[in-house]
Amino acid sequence: MATASFNMQSVFAAPSGGLSSRNIRNTNQLFFKRNAPVGVRCMAQGDPIKEDSSVPSTSTSAAQPQMPPSPPPVSKPKVSTKFGDLLAFSGPAPERINGRLAMVGFVAAIAVELSKGENVFAQISDGGVGWFLGTTALLTVASMVPLFKGIRAEAKSKGLMTSDAELWNGRFAMLGLVALAFTEFVTGGTLV
């Protein structure tokens, strides 16, 4: 079978384009004058190589199939720990810090409204500015320390309390705080 295949290849490669007895004789002589026998081995990827002693193997690299190189492992890009990069408009800090402040502010505003019956504007004028500034400083520093170390919230996110859930809760709290202040401004009294 190998002879027939080799002969067919020589027919197509022959300069005359035809099959002649001379071409067949020359190719048979070339084919049978080989020194090393050629063996073909077929194996699936990941299977161990089983050597067959009846088929001698060749030591040439041309007989061995070349596997394509595996792609290099994808490395995580290094995160910047510069102050300007962290607090940039699209940086990791602003939305997280604002969301955390809004969550604390919304819960505190509703709690004070329920306990004292004051609206948001009365709470701010009754000493709420000091509480707001203290809470802002504390949460900003607490949020920035891990970012300066290169730790992102996404890396520590597992289970029910994920970083995405915190972002969405912060967004809803920001909307809720604005809606609470707007509603109390329009109605002129407390929401609850």
Does the pLDDT value for residue 127 go beyond 80?
yes
Q: Say how far apart CA 110 and CA 120 lie, in whole Å.
A: 9
Q: How many CB atoms lie within 10 A of CB 150?
A: 11
- Which regions of 29-95 does DSSP assign to beta strands (E)? none
Q: Exposure of 170 by Cβ count < 10 A (0-12 exposed, 13-18 middle, 19+ buried)?
A: buried
Q: Say how far apart CA 158 and CA 139 lie, in whole Å.
A: 22
Say which residue, 98 or 61, is predicted with more confidence.
98
pLDDT at 164: 87
pLDDT at 21: 52
- pTM exceeds 0.75: no
* Arithmetic mean of pLDDT over the chain: 75
3-state secondary structure of 33: coil
**Phi then psi dihedrals of residue 161, to 5 deg:** -95, 85
pLDDT per position as a tens digit, 10-50: 445 555 555 555 555 555 555 555 565 666 666 666 655 55
Percent of the chain with pLDDT over 90: 27
